[in-house]
Structure 1
Amino acid sequence: MSAPPGWRTHEGTLARELTLDGHGLHTGRRVRARLLPSDPARGDPRGIVFRRVHAGRTLTTLAVSPKLRRAQPLCTMLRDADGIGVRTVEHLLAALLAGEIDHALVEVDAEEIPILDGSAAPWVEAIRTCGRIGLAAPKRFIRVLRPIVVRDGEGAGLHEMRIEPARCYELDVQNDLRGFGEMRWQGALTPGQFADEIAPSRSYGRVKWAVPAIVAGYLRGVPILRGARPSCTASIVGARVLGGMRMPDEFVRHRVLDLVGDLALAGAPLLARVTARRPSHEMNFRLIDALLSTPDAWEWAEFASPPGDR
């Protein structure tokens, strides 16, 4: 069996170091993210690894894993047993997965990955500009062997996630928002399609709910949306977006972006069809956790390499 169309058959890492600066969506703090090449063949850790630093000192090192995921409002966070973590990792994880960067060290000097323009497009462009180096090891995929379903709510409020066997990475995502109607995106996910159709979609939310959320966050001591601006979100007022939408179905495409980033906690692209109705960070995590906690529902897959496919 050949590898799914559009994907390479060997692992890769960054061709060189890249750095992006910005502010956090929730903390509002300035942060620098420094991405470094990594190769397990030379003794580096496998996969994507986050390292929190301060004043030249390492605070913690976090390998991407569902076991380190902690529930946070409106984002995905990895945190160690001492409470030190990195939040809002989903856009970067999605861009690295779709950029076929299987191994890298992500060093950050604050708690949150920079939100940039609210999408994954700046990460995709930075990775493309940086370049990718193919490694000797065959690329690993997670092949789903039987269906797994998670649900929350019922009737009109039902949130449902389903993952089942497929020969490639397929997604069918539905979401609705008052004033904008039902939106749906479906297709086979490839690195090229992610870059063109999914990565430009931005985080979004209603301005009238942002201020109460910010205040509630201050009262609880949890930073929420302190860095939200029209420059880094699709800010909704009534039934319109300030400055307009990038595409008519931008909201559901951003749900796809978050879903791909959250499922990247598994550590590899999926060979599966994922069907999601009203996905959320919590439901995305529940799905991948349920899959990986069911040993007979998945397996690692590798593929023979055609000449030069690195």
Structure 2
Amino acid sequence: MSTPAGWQSTQGTLARELTMRGHGLHTGRAVNVRILPVHNAAASPGIVFRRVDSQGRELARLRADPALRRAQPLCTMLRSADGQGVRTVEHVLASLLTCEIDHAIVELDAEEVPILDGSAQPWIEAIRTCGRRALAQPKRFIRVLKPVVVSDGSGGQRREMRVEPAARYEMCVRNDLKGFGEMTWEGALTPDVFASEIAPSRSYGRLKWAVPAIIAGYVRGMPILRGARPSCTASIVGNRVLGGMRLPDEFVRHRVLDLVGDLALAGAPLLGRVSALRPSHEMNYRLLSALLADRDAWEWTEFEA
């Protein structure tokens, strides 16, 4: 059986080290990132986040693993048993998955992955500039064997997530926002489709929501949107976006971006169709958790070169 169209037949890592610098969307703190190639995938499998201090001393290692996921407002966070964490991992995870970097170490000297311009495009461009080195292991996918559904709410607030068998990675995501109407993105997800149609979409929000959220975060002792700026979000005022949208229906495309990143915690792309109505980080995780918990609903599939 051949690899689905658009995907490589082997696993991969970076051809050389990648470096980035920016600030966190929620903490507002400056952070330096290095993404390092993995030369021995058997010894250090998957994507691993490595927290270091300002002198480069290791504080913790956290695998991109659903078991380490912790609920946080407006982002996905990984946290170890000793309390060390890395927040806002979804954009870099989506970028590594769709650039087919199956093994890498993401090293950070602060708690939060930088938001950059609010999209995944800078990550995609940087990863492609560094290049990909193929590894000997065959490419792995998670094949969905039967439908899995999770839902929440009712009426106009209903959220529903579904994954069902398909021969390729497909998505149909619907979302709505007052003043902008219903938006839908549907298609097969491949590295090239993600790079051109999804990656440029930015995190977004209404300016009138941001200040109360920041204040509430300070009261609760939880960083929320302290680093939010028009330069790193699609900032909504009334029924318009400051500076305009980058893509048609940019908001729903960003929901796709977050969904791809959250599902990347599974460790491989899916062979399945994901349908989502009003997705959120919490609902994305609930779908992933429900799928992985049912061992009759999925299996690992490898494709030989």
- How would you bin the TM-score normalised by the shorter chain? over 0.9
* Equivalent runs, 1:158-197 vs 2, <5 Å: 158-197=158-197
In structure 2, distance between residues paired with 1:162 and 1:56 = 42
Report Cα offsets for 1:146-198 as digits up to 9, x if no partner: 00000000111110000000000000000000000000000000000000000
Segments of structure 2 that go 5 or more residues without pairing to the other structure are none
In structure 1, distance between residues paired with 2:38 and 2:102 = 9
Report Cα offsets for 1:105-164 as digits up to 9, x if no partner: 000000000000000000000000000000000011000000000000011111000000
Partner of 2:45: 46
In structure 1, distance between residues paired with 2:205 and 2:26 = 13
How far residue 39 of structure 1 moved from its aligned partner, in angstroms, is: 3.2
In structure 1, distance between residues paired with 2:7 and 2:101 = 12
Instruction: Determine if contact 1:169/1:272 at 8 Å carries over to the other structure.
Output: yes
Q: Letter of the aligned partner of 2:275 in structure 1?
A: T
Partner SS for 2:126: helix
Report Cα offsets for 1:237-272 as digits up to 9, x if no partner: 000001111012000000000000000000000000
Question: Structure 1 residue 77 and structure 2 residue 77: aligned?
Answer: yes
Q: Letter of the aligned partner of 1:163 in structure 2?
A: V
Partner of 2:66: 66
TM value normalised by structure 2: 0.99
Report Cα offsets for 1:70-108 as digits up to 9, x if no partner: 000000000001111000000000000000000000000
Q: Letter of the aligned partner of 2:110 in structure 1?
A: A
Q: Letter of the aligned partner of 2:200 in structure 1?
A: P
Partner of 1:258: 258
Partner of 1:297: 297
How far residue 69 of structure 1 moved from its aligned partner, in angstroms, is: 0.1
Instruction: Determine if contact 1:10/1:138 at 8 Å carries over to the other structure.
Output: yes
Partner SS for 1:183: strand
Q: Letter of the aligned partner of 1:53 in structure 2?
A: V
Instruction: Determine if contact 2:183/2:252 at 8 Å carries over to the other structure.
Output: yes
Instruction: Determine if contact 2:56/2:109 at 8 Å carries over to the other structure.
Output: no
Q: Letter of the aligned partner of 2:81 in structure 1?
A: A
Partner of 2:278: 278
In structure 1, distance between residues paired with 2:89 and 2:12 = 20
Partner SS for 2:102: coil
* Equivalent runs, 1:60-139 vs 2, <5 Å: 60-139=60-139
In structure 1, distance between residues paired with 2:115 and 2:156 = 32
How many residues of Structure 1 are paired with residues of Structure 2 in the alignment?
Answer: 304
Partner SS for 1:197: helix
Instruction: Determine if contact 1:51/1:108 at 8 Å carries over to the other structure.
Output: yes
Instruction: Determine if contact 2:173/2:277 at 8 Å carries over to the other structure.
Output: yes
How far residue 40 of structure 1 moved from its aligned partner, in angstroms, is: 3.3
In structure 1, distance between residues paired with 2:48 and 2:36 = 10
Q: Letter of the aligned partner of 2:269 in structure 1?
A: P
Instruction: Determine if contact 2:23/2:227 at 8 Å carries over to the other structure.
Output: yes
* Equivalent runs, 1:200-279 vs 2, <5 Å: 200-279=200-279
Instruction: Determine if contact 2:174/2:183 at 8 Å carries over to the other structure.
Output: yes
Segments of structure 1 that go 5 or more residues without pairing to the other structure are 306-310
Change (3 A) 1:106 1:256: same
Partner SS for 2:59: strand
In structure 2, distance between residues paired with 1:138 and 1:304 = 5
How far residue 2 of structure 1 moved from its aligned partner, in angstroms, is: 1.6
How far residue 56 of structure 1 moved from its aligned partner, in angstroms, is: 2.1
In structure 2, distance between residues paired with 1:3 and 1:56 = 40
Q: Letter of the aligned partner of 2:210 in structure 1?
A: A
In structure 1, distance between residues paired with 2:6 and 2:61 = 32
Q: Percent identity?
A: 74
